[in-house]
Chains A and B, each alone.
Chain A
């Protein structure tokens, strides 16, 4: 039973040790995050961890057969005076009633504070329990103080000083118990020496030496001169230190949290900015693609219009050559009609030669046929000219549309060369059309002048022929 309790206590102390180590780690982490190192604070935290470690070591030693009788371990003795369960009452030969339990029950926290004011009495005041436990066979194994680890266990998120109330420390509870024992020491004094128990040994050696390493501040109090005021001052200082430590730890935790929040906000902002950048890049890519499409369409239009212009120019050239040939033929015919000199041995007018008349009539018929052919060619040429003009107009419209499309392209596009090219081509086309018009006009003039002049040729050949 006692062994089980011992193990339980050991387990609790181990947990406490781990928790305090983690709390110390949190403290160091807070200092690291803040960049504000405080060696004193670290030393204090380390001392608290060491304190628990020492208690644990002592407990482990207590599991061994028995502690030496002269070992000054008043704290443990004090703990043994406050069994947590009724079985200890039975062991200690106390009546199995609730009153013993009530006696051994730890007092409310306020009492501990009051008791801490009288640490000096502990030196002379061993445990009162031995008086009650005297008839009991020696009980050596330390009884776990069930309250201490439970009440002092810090939460993982908080530092040790924050989570550990000052009066709940095992050491201080022990000191309180020792103080309590001081009140009863006189009644217990005669019986203490008879007990070979550890508490008994403590009674025989009434804390002339400081308590075990686990005693911590209580040990300091035991070593210090028995001045209650000093003890009180020491306690107050310790409390202030703890409060300061707790405040600093809380501040560190707060800064860590605010830093985390700030980091999250910064991350959000960065993510939004990246999204925006991505959207902008997509928009820029879309604009570039649209510009490329516009450029391709423009180039295609330019190619088509160039091909159309080329075809029109070829056709115009062929037509012009045809018309020139017609005009030359007409001029030759005209010249033939006007320039034919009369033969030297021709008969005078008045009595026409029938052969000559037949020839004249055949020539007239031929001329009429020529005229008809020329008129027909002229009509065809006019029609073609109209077609050419229409084609030229269409080409002009295309060129205008191309220029309008080029003007619709954004100003930053390098398309300055295209309008100049279009202008040059339009001018060439215009010149060709003008020349063609001039040619047609001349042809018309020739054709229109031919019938009127035909009277003469009609007559002239007659004269010439004759």
Chain B
């Protein structure tokens, strides 16, 4: 544990979490772009396939959840192990709000 560590979180872990958060943000933008592209294609076909749209949107929701989790870990100073436990616990009641 380093000098500047906060709680059970080391500086390296914090950096890794921030990097991962950036990756997730990038991934989210990419997924949203894909979702928009898919919607445009469906609009050109004249029919919206909601199942496909829901599937793509669910991917974005997953990314959002993960980003929320990482942000929470950063905020509360959780270590990677604690974050993993938290993720496992949250993965148990896997509910899909859109369905």
Contact A50 B57 (CB under 8 A): no
Which secondary structure dominates where chain A touches chain B? helix
Q: Are B44 and A23 in contact (CB under 8 A)?
A: no
From A28, A32, A263, A267, give the contact of B36 (CB < 8 A).
Answer: A28
Complex: A45 Cα to B60 Cα, angstroms: 18
Complex interface residues of chain A between 35 and 53 (CB less than 8 A to chain B): 35, 37, 39, 42-43, 45-47, 49-50, 53
On whether the beta carbons of A24 and B98 are closer than 8 Å, the reply is no
Is B84 interfacial (CB 8 A cutoff)?
A: no
Interface flags for A10-50 (1: CB within 8 Å of B; 0: not) read 00000000101111111011011101010100110111011
> Does A401 make an interface contact (CB < 8 A)?
no
- Is there a chain A Cβ closer than 8 Å to B12's Cβ? no
CB–CB B44/A50 < 8 A: yes
In the complex, what distance in Å separates the CA atom of A5 from the CA atom of B27? 31
Interface 1/0 per residue, A44-74 and B, CB below 8 Å: 0111011001000000000000000000000
Mark the stretch among B1-9, B14-22, B46-54 that contacts chain A: B46-54
**Do the beta carbons of A25 and B32 come within 8 Å of each other?**
yes
| A32-B57, A33-B98, A264-B68 given; A21·B33 CB < 8 A | yes
**CB-CB < 8 A to B35: which residues of A?**
24-25, 28-29
Contacting pair A29 B61 (CB below 8 A): yes
Chief secondary structure at chain B's binding surface: helix
Query: Does A260 contact B53, Cβ atoms closer than 8 Å?
Result: no
The one of A35, A53, A264, A274 that contacts B98, using a Cβ cutoff of 8 Å: A35
Closest Cβ–Cβ distance, residue B82 to chain A (whole Å):
11
Quick check: B40 and A46 within 8 Å, CB to CB? yes
Interface residues on A, range: 20 to 34
User: Do A32 and B33 contact each other (CB < 8 Å), given the known contacts A25-B39, A42-B48, A267-B90?
Assistant: no
Q: Please determine whether A26 and B32 come into contact, CB atoms closer than 8 angstroms.
A: yes
- Chain A 259-283, CB-CB to B under 8 Å as 1, else 0, gives 1100110010011001000000000
A399-425 interface mask toward B, CB cutoff 8 Å, 1 = contact, 0 = none? 000000000000000000000000000
Interface flag for A156 (CB, 8 Å)? yes
Query: Quick one: closest B residue to A21, CB to CB?
Result: B36
**Which residue of chain B lies nearest to A45 when distances are taken between CB atoms in the complex?**
B39
Closest chain B residue, CB of each to CB of A26: B32
Chain A contacts with B in 146-200, Cβ cutoff 8 A: 156
Whether B57 pairs with A28 at a CB distance below 8 angstroms is yes
User: Distance (Å) between the CB of A47 and the closest chain B CB?
Assistant: 7
Residues of A within 8 A of B (CB): 18, 20-26, 28-29, 31-33, 35, 37, 39, 42-43, 45-47, 49-50, 53, 156, 259-260, 263-264, 267, 270-271, 274
Residue ranges of B at the interface with A (Cβ–Cβ < 8 Å): 29, 31-37, 39-40, 42-44, 48, 50, 53-54, 56-58, 60-61, 64, 68, 72, 86, 89-90, 97-99
Given A21-B33, A31-B57, A37-B50, 8 more pairs with CB closer than 8 A: A25-B60, A28-B53, A33-B57, A35-B97, A37-B48, A50-B44, A53-B40, A271-B89
3 closest Cβ contacts across the A-B interface? A25-B32, A46-B43, A21-B36
